[in-house]
Amino acid sequence: DSGVTQTPKHLITATGQRVTLRCSPRSGDLSVYWYQQSLDQGLQFLIQYYNGEERAKGNILERFSAQQFPDLHSELNLSSLELGDSALYFCASSVSSYNEQFFGPGTRLTVL
């Protein structure tokens, strides 16, 4: 158990819908990262927050957004869902931007 929690574990929804994925970092970790893992793309960095502020953006679609709240938990919002958005979404946290990251168990999103 890494100490990072993610909910829900599984999510099945239809194209065009919107979902919210939630992540709670390890106690004391200020940095939160979101990654997408699909079969053909491997682990892809989406976005990073540090102590409530956006720090870096990767290949994140405009239909996706995220935020980190004052209690440091983070949410990833995915809208206008497409079949290709089906993937595992991982959240990771670290003490700072320059330490190892610890991954949550992931949310498996299936878009039908």
Q: Which of 32, 72, 94, 111 is in the footprint of other proteins by CB under 8 A?
A: 94
When the beta carbons of 19 and 48 are compared against other proteins, the nearer one is 48
Per DSSP, which regions of the chain are E strands? Answer: 5-7, 10-13, 19-24, 31-38, 42-50, 53-57, 64-68, 74-78, 87-94, 102-103, 107-111
Residues 1-40 that bind other proteins (CB under 8 A): 2, 31, 33, 35
How many whole angstroms from its chain centre is CA 54?
13
CA separation for the pair 31, 21 (Å, rounded)? 17
Is 102 an interacting residue with respect to other proteins (CB under 8 A)? yes
When the beta carbons of 61 and 88 are compared against other proteins, the nearer one is 88
How many whole angstroms from its chain centre is CA 112?
20
# residues near other proteins by CB under 8 A: 27
Chain contacts with other proteins (rule: CB under 8 A): 2, 31, 33, 35, 42-45, 48, 55-56, 58, 88, 90, 94, 96-106, 108
